[in-house]
Amino acid sequence: VIEVAPYLVAGWLFLVGLYGIVTSRNLVHLTLCVAVVQSSTYVLLLTIGYRTGGTVAVFKSFPKGVPPVDPVVAALTLTDIVVSATVTALLLAVALQAHKRTGSLDPADLTSLRG
């Protein structure tokens, strides 16, 4: 089971975050659910890059001969986190304006488009 467990964790995070988005009654909660969905991709990327017994791919302070993990997916995870942070910031800004306009943070109250 351990051979596939981290992949299953990534899949679970994705689905549970999606469930949160669908059932959310609060835009701030919804934004955090989007962050949960995004964190599933970090788990997936780092899982793909891991090798048994591997160390971090930084060589100054680690003994030679120990195999390092895949640095390409680690770098992609960094990109991923940056994108996640910017998406969260923009969604929170939109939530704030929606609350000012309508006095509500419930997505169910935001049904009509207004100019």
Q: Per-residue b/e over 78-96, b at no fewer than 16 CB within 10 Å?
A: eebeeebeeeeeebeeebe
Q: Find out whether 109 and 42 touch, Cβ atoms under 8 Å.
A: no
The residue assigned the tokens 């599933």 is 40
Residue 109 binding another protein, by CB under 8 A: no
| Selected binder of another protein within 56, 66, 102, 109 (CB under 8 A) | 56
| Selected binder of another protein within 31, 34, 59, 64 (CB under 8 A) | 59
Q: Find out whether 97 and 105 touch, Cβ atoms under 8 Å.
A: no
Our CA angle for 33, 47, 55, nearest 5°, is: 125
State the minimum distance, in angstroms, from the CB of residue 64 to another protein: 11
Residue 60 binding another protein, by CB under 8 A: yes
Residue 82 binding another protein, by CB under 8 A: yes
Interface positions with another protein (CB under 8 A): 2-8, 11, 14-15, 18-19, 22-23, 47, 49-54, 56-61, 67-72, 74-75, 78-79, 81-83, 86-87, 89-90, 92-94, 96-97, 100, 108
